[in-house]
Amino acid sequence: MCCLFFIHMYLVFNALSLLQNEEAPLVQDDRDNIFVTEQSTQDFIVVKKAEYIGYHKRLQHTGDLLFTPSVRPVTTCVKLPENIKPRYLEDEGLYVGERPPVSSTNMNILENRLLKSAEGKKWFDDDGTIMALPNPIKESSTRPPLFHMEEELDPALQTVFRKVEL
């Protein structure tokens, strides 16, 4: 009990000494007081009217910063390397899967964007279309049919449920 009293007194004494140290000024000499300025807050605030940037000027500025590809279709001669005619595999009798459906506007935007990149022509097939795998969505199921539950199964294939006994 006596030991706790001394610990309590020690903590109170240390807290009082810290408070006295915090109240001491940071700069002792008045002429070295670097925190006092002769300027008011009004000297740091600038009040002026808002600057208006016109619509056309804003469009031109955003056009310089952002790349917006064209919606117009690209001719096949631009998509293929020089002096190469387009090669249509379907006309040669080869099977070509059904391509996934994409709107023509989105396809034109993508083609224009790819052609602006450094290695843009490598994304195009021999016929000038963008390389794409056939549509992975199948209309009919390719899984084997499930056993009908109305029919009786072989007893070796039936599931047996048992209650756990501890």
Tens-place pLDDT, residues 22-54? 666 665 555 555 666 677 777 778 888 889 999
Lowest mean pLDDT among 17-26, 80-89, 129-138, 143-152: 17-26
Domain range annotation of the chain? 55-123
More confident residue, 8 or 48: 48
Indicate the burial class of 79 (C-beta count within 10 angstroms; 0-12, 13-18, 19 or more). Answer: buried
The Cα–Cα gap between 121 and 111 comes to: 9
In degrees and rounded to multiples of 5, residue 21 shows phi and psi of -70, -35
pLDDT, position 137: 76
- Kindly report the number of other CB atoms within 10 A of residue 126's CB atom: 13
The answer to whether the CB of 86 falls within 8 A of the CB of 80 is: yes
3-state secondary structure of 65: helix
138: confidence class by pLDDT, cuts 50, 70, 90:
confident
> Which CA distances in Å does 29 have to 18, 25, 89?
22, 9, 91
DSSP category for residue 47: -
Range list of H helices, the chain: 2-23, 55-65, 76-79, 104-116
Tens-place pLDDT, residues 86-137? 888 888 898 887 888 889 999 999 999 999 988 888 899 888 888 888 777 7
142: confidence class by pLDDT, cuts 50, 70, 90:
confident
More confident residue, 107 or 148: 107
Tens-place pLDDT, residues 54-71? 999 998 998 889 888 899
pLDDT, position 81: 84
The Cα–Cα gap between 99 and 111 comes to: 16
In this prediction the pTM is 0.48
Those residues with Cβ within 8 angstroms of residue 115's Cβ, 6 or more apart along the chain or in another chain: 74, 78, 79, 121
pLDDT, position 56: 94
The Cα–Cα gap between 117 and 14 comes to: 70
pLDDT, position 23: 61
pLDDT, position 19: 55
